[in-house]
Amino acid sequence: MTELYNLLYNESEKIIKKKKLLVLIGILIILIPLFVYASERQYSAAVKILGTDDWRVSLQKEILEDQSRMQNVGRSEEWKKWLEIKIKQQQYYLDNDINPNEPGAPTFTRTFIENAVSLFIPLLVMVVSIDIVSSERSDGTIKALLTRPINRWKILLSKYLAVLLFSAVVVFLVCFLSILISGIFFSFRGWEAPILTGFKFDNGQLITSDVTTIPQWLYLLRVIGIAWFVSICISSISFMVSVIVRNTAAAMGIMLAALIAGSILVGFASTWEGAKYIFSVHLQLTDYISGQMPMISDVTLGYAILILSLWSIAAVFISFYTFIKQDIL
Amino acid sequence: MENNTLVVKNLSKSFGNRKIIDDVSFEVNKGEIFGFLGPNGAGKTTIIRMLVGLIKPTEGKIYISGFDVRKDYKKAMSRLGCIVENPELYSFLTGWENLMQFARMIGLNDENKILEIVNLVKLDQRIHDKVKTYSLGMKQRLGIAQALLNDPDLLILDEPTNGLDPAGIRELRDFIKRIVKFRNMSVFISSHLLSEIEMMCDTVAIIHKGKLIKQSPVSDLLEETQKVSVWEISDVNKGIELLKKVSRNVIQISDTTLKCEIGKNEIPEIINMLINNDILIYNASVVQESLEDLFIRFTGEETND
Ligand SMILES: Nc1ncnc2c1ncn2[C@@H]1O[C@H](COP(=O)(O)OP(=O)(O)OP(=O)(O)O)[C@@H](O)[C@H]1O
Ligand SMILES: [Mg+2]
């Protein structure tokens, strides 16, 4: 146990001393203010188009419309229930004097992570994990590492744990810096604001029977949880590529291609069934809780998580199997 | 086997269906400096990689201090220190951080002991600098320090003098002799330079094209080398005729010098013969056949370097 702890300590020291995390923080510190500024522009443009910055008036109007729609006969009970929840949500904004469109730290961070979960966060996680084994190989230090009285699987396990640890650090940094920077620009308010969730899809039909509202902090926590899960999968797969491919640049190229191919293939997935077995088309997991129509009709949140988990488990298995048997040349 | 720090039995290795190492066996005794001599591509590094457990032998067994490298991997490795090819260390860490990394791996947390080794390899001035600022000689010494952390019975160095200048080579040689004396361990050194092995080692094994072609004490090997005599005389043509009576291989090197293969005892005889024939002798010397020539004699062909 102390041996594993020492090994993990060593791996962490190497990752930190390579200064990759600092570069990563630098990227976030430059990019997040950019996004913050963009959403600020978007907000003020919206205000300009609506011609009024009295959001209370427009909210009230929306509530009235929904109420009249509820009177409509011929609508299903389910539909009415959903409208009821929506009205309650809007009423909450009015009662608590919250402008639902006004950006604050929680709202910004939530939308930022929702947008970053399928490509930006995977890229950052990939950059941190991709050279964990391949760099030791190309620097030749693997020979010093693997001639110690420690079994190979233990060395590799410490490297996998380090990758998991630092991918979690990446997700934490993204959230922390996003909340901090957007909070300073806008405000730190909006944690309790109700957010709609619980949408389901059945054969392309939106099912609203289970829709409820939850406070934004809880919603944000779920989004972060999803981002964390995605980062575990990406770091596991990057880890495998790092074990198999000797050259760090080539390894990075492979992961980059896989991630970008995934984001392109999402568009084709409605016509090509096979795409749903590729891990990188399933990264936009936040869509399932926010009520977006998923691209692949019969894919559910559970199915996407299953595919990602299977890929990760297989990746870890292949990594250990090849690494333990392999001749180190 | 008790007295053998390293025992190698019938070691073979194939890559695909190319046999790179073919049935190599040898032993390294306690406290001995063992030279492993072979030209480029002979298979030295491949054998060393098998000794340290980096690659799996196709056939054969390796014991370090009595522990089978494959079956008792951890115990065998705990008795071993090594540098395979170049001293590759983490260039983005300092020398000290590098040593601490390897110390943690063997559960060593006695900083005084690490300091002692740092002083031994004379790196105390620069140990807290980043390794990427080190010279090759310093990296080599840091590599040795790293290999000594676990008090090994056997130190394996693969062409340790590669890239070092003559002063660095001498320093390394003295250093290795010193640690062997004080720490009573065995050292296994590979090299493609005969002169190096001659100066450093007690025993030499010669490997060529993956086969062990000779193993003997360095002193025996030196005795086997033939003597060559060089004669600077006044009448070369007459000299050739006379020398051919007592020696094979008489060669004219210049207008006034001849060279011939000859035993020490025949020299007075030749001197008398030359004087009796009124030939003046300006210089007569006996030189040893170089190990280079010897090597060619054993392998029957030129080395590639
Ligand atoms: N992975 C491999 N696949 C095929 N052949 C290999 C492999 N590694 C080494 N060889 C071959 O094995 C032979 C021995 O190589 P090795 O590196 O052990 O030689 P060496 O004695 O260390 O040479 P040098 O003095 O140049 O370091 C060479 O002919 C080389 O081409
Ligand atoms: Mg070599």
Position A10 scores a pLDDT of 96
How far is ligand 1, taken at its centre, from the CA of residue B81, in Å?
22
Residue A167, token pair as written in the block: 């991918």
Position B290 scores a pLDDT of 64
Q: Tell me the C-alpha distance between B229 and A98, whole Å.
A: 106
**Closest chain B residue to A2, measured at CA:** B107
Q: For residue B41, how many other CB atoms are within 10 A of its CB?
A: 14
Q: Tell me the C-alpha distance between B44 and B231, whole Å.
A: 40
Among A313, A26, A21, residue whose Cα is nearest residue A165: A21
Among B113, B291, B301, B131, residue whose Cα is nearest residue B204: B291
Mean pLDDT confidence for B152-173? 90
Is the CB of residue B20 below 6 angstroms from any atom belonging to ligand 1?
Answer: yes
Residues in A closer than 8 angstroms to B92, CB to CB, are 14, 17-19
Contact B104 A2 (CB under 8 A): no
Whether the pLDDT of residue B159 is over 70: the answer is: yes
Q: Which protein residue's CA is at the shortest distance from atom 17 of ligand 1?
A: B45
Give me the residue spans of the domains in chain A: 2-32+100-325
Residue A78 contacts B where some CB pair is shorter than 8 Å:
no
Position B156 scores a pLDDT of 96
Which of the pair, B143 or A73, is modelled with greater confidence?
Answer: B143
Position B304 scores a pLDDT of 46
- Cβ contacts below 8 Å, chain A against chain B, sum to 77
Residue B82 contacts A where some CB pair is shorter than 8 Å:
yes
How far is ligand 1, taken at its centre, from the CA of residue A138, in Å?
18
Q: For residue A55, how many other CB atoms are within 10 A of its CB?
A: 18
Whether the pLDDT of residue A26 is over 70: the answer is: yes
Sign of the torsion angle spanned by Cα atoms B190, B191, B195, B199: negative
How far is ligand 1, taken at its centre, from the CA of residue B60, in Å?
19
Query: Residue B9: enclosing H or E segment and its boundaries?
Result: strand B4-15
Write out pLDDT tens, residues A250-270: 999 999 999 999 888 887 777
Is the CB of residue B14 below 6 angstroms from any atom belonging to ligand 1?
Answer: no
- Phi and psi dihedrals of A18, rounded to 5? -75, -10
Residue A95 contacts B where some CB pair is shorter than 8 Å:
no
Position B292 scores a pLDDT of 64
Please give the ipTM for the structure prediction: 0.84
Confidence at B305, pLDDT banded by 50, 70, 90: very low
Report which listed range, A158-162, A181-185, B201-205, is most confident: A158-162
The pTM of this model reads 0.87
Mean pLDDT confidence for A167-195? 91
Write out pLDDT tens, residues A108-139: 999 999 999 999 999 999 999 999 999 999 99
Confidence at A240, pLDDT banded by 50, 70, 90: very high
Q: Which protein residue's CA is at the shortest distance from atom 24 of ligand 1?
A: B40
Is the CB of residue B15 below 6 angstroms from any atom belonging to ligand 1?
Answer: yes
Identify from B45, B54, B89, B159 which residue to disrupt to test chain A contact, counting A C-beta atoms within 10 A and taking the largest count.
B54
Confidence at A89, pLDDT banded by 50, 70, 90: confident
Q: For residue A274, how many other CB atoms are within 10 A of its CB?
A: 9
Is the CB of residue B282 below 6 angstroms from any atom belonging to ligand 1?
Answer: no
Q: Tell me the C-alpha distance between A262 and A280, whole Å.
A: 4
Whether the pLDDT of residue B221 is over 90: the answer is: no
Q: Tell me the C-alpha distance between B50 and B110, whole Å.
A: 31
Whether the pLDDT of residue B284 is over 50: the answer is: yes
Confidence at B226, pLDDT banded by 50, 70, 90: low
Position B300 scores a pLDDT of 64
Residues in A closer than 8 angstroms to B131, CB to CB, are none
Residue B128 contacts A where some CB pair is shorter than 8 Å:
no
Write out pLDDT tens, residues B49-76: 999 999 999 999 999 999 999 999 999 9
CA distance B201 to chain A (A): 24
Which of the pair, A200 or A36, is modelled with greater confidence?
Answer: A36
Is the CB of residue B192 below 6 angstroms from any atom belonging to ligand 1?
Answer: yes
Position A295 scores a pLDDT of 64
Residues in B closer than 8 angstroms to A146, CB to CB, are 53-54
CA distance B55 to chain A (A): 4
Q: Give the ligand with the smallest distance to the CA of B19.
A: 1
Residue B102, token pair as written in the block: 């390897």
- Ion ligand 2, residues whose Cβ is below 5 A away: B 45
Contact A151 B82 (CB under 8 A): no
Mean pLDDT confidence for A198-224? 79
Whether the pLDDT of residue A77 is over 60: the answer is: yes
Mean pLDDT confidence for B198-216? 89
Q: Tell me the C-alpha distance between A133 and A11, whole Å.
A: 11
Write out pLDDT tens, residues B104-135: 999 998 999 999 999 999 999 999 999 999 99
Q: Which residue has the tokens 């949500």?
A: A89
Residue B80 contacts A where some CB pair is shorter than 8 Å:
yes
- Phi and psi dihedrals of A188, rounded to 5? -95, 20
